[in-house]
Each structure stands twice: as C-alpha cells, then as structure tokens.
Chains A and B, each alone.
Chain A
C-alpha cells in the first residue's frame, strides 16, 4: 500500500537539514511519496524506520542498470502507462541475435552487418545496444559466440535454459556483466544462484503469465530482485498481452512481483521476416518492451525504429532540441546562401526536409532558441536580431561561408530591418511563412 507524503513526513527528523538535497523534510517526503526519490536519501532515518518504509515507498517498477560495453543504461523505473501522464524514463534498448547453429562465416557476417548500423541522430547514438546469443545445441560454439560478442562494445544477453551451459558462458563473459536469460519453473534455483554469484541480471520465463508470476515470486523469495521478465514467444498475441499485463500489473495494481523490466524477442516471434520484426519493434517500443531483440539490425529498420524511440522517450515537459550550428544541405559549400531557423527539433526536421527536397544547396543555420518554435522563440526573445547577429559571430559564419545571403523565416519578417542593420554586409531575405512553401521558394530563388 502506497504511503502518503504526510505519513512519511511524520517519520522524518523534521529538522530541514537539507542533507538529502531538498529544502525541507516535507518536500523530501512528498517526492518520496511520488516515487521520485528513494527513502534512503535521508541519512538520518533509523534502520527500522528505513525498513518499514523501504517496501511501501519503493517505486512500483524496479530500475536496473545494464552494461553495454563501457556504457551503462537504465531499464525499467517507469511510473506511468502513458507518456503524457508524466514521462517515460528508460528508453527501450535493442539487440540483434547470434545463434550456435551459425557457422563461423555466418556469425562473422551477421556480426559485421549489424555492428555497422551505428550513427548519431539529434545528439543520440543510435545502434543495437545488445547482442543476444542463443544456445540451441552446441555448447562450445555458444560460449565461443558469447566471447566473440564480448569483443564488441555491446552488451550481451545469454539465452540459455541449460544450467551447465549457462554456467560456462557466464564464466567466460562475467567481466562484461551479461544478462542471463534462462530461468524457468524447473531451473530457477540454480540459475538464480549463478546470477547472484556473478552480480548479473537474470531473465525469467514461463509457459504462461501464471507460471512466470509464480517463478518470479519464488526467485524473489530467494532474495534475488535483479530480474527481467521474458514475455515469451509462443505467439505475437500472447507476447503483447504479457508485455501489457506485466507493466499494468506493476503500475496499476502496484503488484511488485511484476515490477520488473521486460524482454521481447521479436526475432523469434517473426523469424526470417524483417518487415514483421520492424512492425513488432515499433509495437513493443510503444507498449512496454524494455529490451527488444531482433534477428539483425539494418539501417532500414533502425532509421525508423530508433527515430520512433527517440520521439516517444522524450520528456513531454522538455522540448526536443538539436545542436546549434551550420548544417550544409544538398552538398552546399561556402558559396551557397544561408537560411536561419531555430533549434526546436520538429522545426529542424520539417525545414531541413523541405530544403533537401528543393535540391538547392543551402547552409542551414540552427541558432540556439531554447528549443522553441520560431514564433514562440521570437515571443520569448530567443530569436531576435541580436541573437541572429550573435550566432553569425559565435559560429564564425563570415569566415566559413563566403555567400552573404541570409534567408530568415517568414514568420519573423518584422526582424528583417533590424537584422539588416546589425549585419550590413549581408543581404537579408524573408523566406516563406510555412516550410511547405520552401521547395518552390528555393527553386525560384536559385533560378
């Protein structure tokens, strides 16, 4: 049963010492009640009070740290079912697969192809964070592949329900902290011990939700709460039901047994069908897959799915921004004209998309406008003649680009005179009001 802020407040020292980083004990208590802070952040609570509160104030869904090479990611820790209610906090992570039935050449080719998909999109690295290695029949090959995966900068998922084989694979890859996905109703005791001994996350599976629930309960009783729940691959429908029910049980019913991140193997659900795997990756990115395993990562799948993820896991209260700077489009060089706009990601996408469609070389200047759209930035004073002039100076535009034409957004046509005054060497031109008119505008401009 969740405690209210006031109930927690009664147990604090009420000294407002600020040691927890909050101005008052009351503020601290309210945050703990919302699940935003952990009760242990207060250093002055006695052990029995802590114990009393720890269970009832723990967030409904555990947040775990996973390792992908040297990078650490959080999975889980969600507090809402829909992003508009607050925000999703831990983005879905993706994996591609290797299996011991692959020949050396096949495994190398698969590894090579999926590792190549690695790029940056709006200041975020886009790639498959994990390699999922599956044991089918050849234990030595399996361990070998796991080691091979360890040689990359990706995290490792070991899919293996056979205890002895799992033990060997974990021993070989322990330094990389793999996720051991292999506990079930019949092997959970040994598997759980193997995972806790190595300090790694244990993946739990079951033939249905009831068995998964009971097994998870039993593993928790052994003291292991470092778990991820495998939604299974009996059918797309049952995997979807499991992903939704697990998250809903945790957040809606406050059922902590299911308060763990989930793993969905869409590669196994739609084996050999790249298009269906893309569809499922999309579905489970929206509906509660913490780690989504595909057979392979291709640019085609990644460009769409990673883009979707980047959108969905933004904080609704913070605008999505892109890095200010000079973006040459259509192979623009120093002789191409400049067009300036704001750093709101949506504006950038629409404007750069239309400019690219026009085919006319142009240097798109993205100025720091606090992530606001053109009109909002203008109203807030973040897009002004001074800010434009400052950008030209700060980014050394006059030395980098010879052309002295600057196209400004039509919506801030009023700024033209003032910008012209501040940049006397430039020819300031007012662009269209809407991005959609840019193609025609640029073509007319170029001719």
Chain B
C-alpha cells in the first residue's frame, strides 16, 4: 500500500503586508499553510530577516558585532553596512537614546537619525522605539511624518499608547503599524480590533506577539503562535491574520547564557558563541512557530537564519 500523504491546505491565508518601496520592498505573510509546510502548498513570501542597529551603537557588545560595525562613523553608516548583506531583508533601527530613564535624547535628534538611516539604505526600514509608552507615542508620530512615503513599520503600538500611534502611523502617514501584545492570543486579538476600530486597515498591521529567549518561558511563545496561526488559517479569524514579526535579538542577548563572561563561566566557553547560539535557536523556533519575520543582531546569526529559510523554502 503506498503512503497517503496528509495535506493541510487552508482556504484562509495570512495577510500579505508590503514594507518599503521600490525594487527592494518586501512582503510579509501571504501564506495559507503552516510554517515551512511547502509540501502542502507553495509559500510565496519566505520569512524575512532584519538586522538590528541601535542609535546608541553597540559598544558593549561582543566582538563579532562591534567588529562588524567598527569602521562605521554614524548610525547611518551602520545601517548601510548591514543593508549591504545579501542575507538582510530589512533594517531595524532601535531609537534607544530616546528613553527618558536613559539618555533622554530629544525627539528631533531621533527623527534626524531615522531620516539619515532611511536615506542611507535601499531596503525597508523598521523602527523600534525606546519602550517608554509615552515617549514612543510622540516619537513615532514625528518619525512617521519625516519618513512619509517610505512605508516603514513601527514597533510597537501597545494597549497603553495605540491610539496616537495608530492614528499617526496608520492613518495620517499611511505606513505600517506594529501591534505589540504580551504572549496571549486574546490580548493580541483585542489590540488588532482596537487598532482596526480607529480606521487602520487590517492589512496595514503587523503583530509582535511578544517573545522570550529559548529556555525562558518559550513554551508560551510557541503555544500563542500555534493558536494564532490556527485561528487565522482554519477559523478564518480576520482579526488574527496579520503577519507576525519577532524581535529576537533583544531577548537573546540579555539572558545569562549570552551575557555571562568567559571569566565568570570558564567551562561554558566563548561568550560570543553562546549568544549567537541563543539568537539562532530562538529565531529558528520563532520561525517554526509561525513568525513571518525575525530581527537579529549578530552577523553570524543573520547568515545562518537566512540560509535556513532558503533551505526550507
């Protein structure tokens, strides 16, 4: 008796969301099968890999990251250097300096940086804020104004500040809104509904479902993504069909396994390799669970994950 292959093809699909403009623009989502299940149906838009840079630079990072950007004089230079990699699909600029509890850089300075980065690269841009809800709301409005026509994605609008961000980014300046929830399908859906009610088209929303490093409660990430994917594809839930983007780098490079020095943990071996492995393992698990894009920091992680995607699609 020959093997009868099971097939799970769904009539519903994840939204296809365009980022950037021109010949290097990318599409997130669009698939109607489970992650990498190319044997069920063709996957038109492979998951994308973004390189994270920060307006505070990477001075305290491992050699592989600082070394890569060593010859860069400005944030725009860093963006350009990362964007030149074939394995990089988009650039993710973190406006860390804006943090009121940190450097508290004025919004105008961040806008200037964002504009310079955008002008320096020909790949799509994702803007990450400083994680302060109020500052991000002001920041995103001004950056979106400066980047009109660039079709950038802003991470993220949260329950606390979605109103002003969605109105500015999604409605006034017609770019893409990142909706960030904290690893819970109901919260994710509720935020998508709220942002849609403001008038933002569901097809202009990308979800950040929240993330964790492998080993740090990652089971919640897996199950949330599994359930969101199932609701989107098999139940045709239009409020959960937004593609998912996962910032892997921040979580991966802040856990003990990545920050303990070799002096502290001699038997653990190279700190850099531990961080790279953590970033790679977390990213691969996010992609296998349904992320349409991951944001990474180390050039070696970017190369490996990009290759993994090519091998699987």
Contact yes or no, B259 A286, CB < 8 A? no
What CA separation (Å) do A82 and B303 show in the bound complex? 29
B103 within 8 A of A: no
Contact yes or no, A252 B222, CB < 8 A? no
A245 within 8 A of B: yes
Minimum Cβ distance to chain B for residue A215 (Å): 11
A425 within 8 A of B: no
**Interface-lining segment among B50-58, B110-118, B272-280:** B272-280
Contact yes or no, A307 B277, CB < 8 A? no
Taking CB atoms, residues of chain B closer than 8 Å to A253 are 4, 6
B216 within 8 A of A: yes
Minimum Cβ distance to chain B for residue A229 (Å): 12
A14 within 8 A of B: no
Interchain pairs with CB closer than 8 A, number:
177
Q: Which residue of A lies closest to B215 (CB)?
A: A307
A372 within 8 A of B: no
Contact yes or no, A301 B277, CB < 8 A? yes
Q: Which residue of B lies closest to A304 (CB)?
A: B281
Contact yes or no, B308 A83, CB < 8 A? no
Taking CB atoms, residues of chain B closer than 8 Å to A304 are 214-215, 257, 274, 277-278, 280-282
Main secondary structure of the interface of B (DSSP, over half): helix
Contact yes or no, A300 B269, CB < 8 A? yes
What CA separation (Å) do A276 and B281 show in the bound complex? 9
Question: Which B273-313 residues have C-beta < 8 A from chain A?
Answer: 273-274, 276-278, 280-285, 287-289, 300-301, 303-305, 307-308, 311-312
B73 within 8 A of A: no
A311-B219 in contact given A237-B38, A304-B282 (Cβ < 8 Å): yes
B22 within 8 A of A: no
B81 within 8 A of A: no
Contact yes or no, A300 B214, CB < 8 A? no
B312: which of A84, A236, A285, A301 is its contact (CB, 8 Å)?
Answer: A236
A311-B215 in contact given A213-B3, A286-B222 (Cβ < 8 Å): yes
Contact yes or no, B280 A279, CB < 8 A? yes
Q: How large is the interface on B (under 10, 10 to 19, 20 to 34, 35 or more residues)?
A: 35 or more
Taking CB atoms, residues of chain B closer than 8 Å to A154 are none
B12 within 8 A of A: no
Minimum Cβ distance to chain B for residue A354 (Å): 9
- 27 A-B contacts, Cβ less than 8 Å apart? A82-B227, A83-B223, A210-B2, A235-B311, A236-B312, A237-B38, A244-B37, A249-B3, A257-B3, A275-B303, A276-B308, A279-B281, A279-B283, A281-B281, A282-B280, A283-B287, A301-B277, A303-B277, A304-B257, A304-B274, A307-B213, A308-B281, A311-B217, A312-B219, A320-B219, A346-B217, A357-B254
Beyond the given A244-B39, A299-B274, A345-B217, could you list 9 further A-B residue pairs with CB under 8 A, ordered by the A residue number? A82-B227, A217-B1, A282-B214, A304-B274, A304-B278, A307-B216, A308-B214, A308-B281, A311-B214
Where the two chains meet, the residues of A that have a C-beta atom closer than 8 Å to any C-beta of B are: 82-84, 116, 121, 209-210, 212-214, 217, 235-237, 240-241, 244-245, 248-249, 252-253, 255, 257-258, 273-276, 278-283, 285-287, 298-301, 303-308, 310-312, 314, 316, 320, 345-346, 349-350, 352-353, 356-357, 440
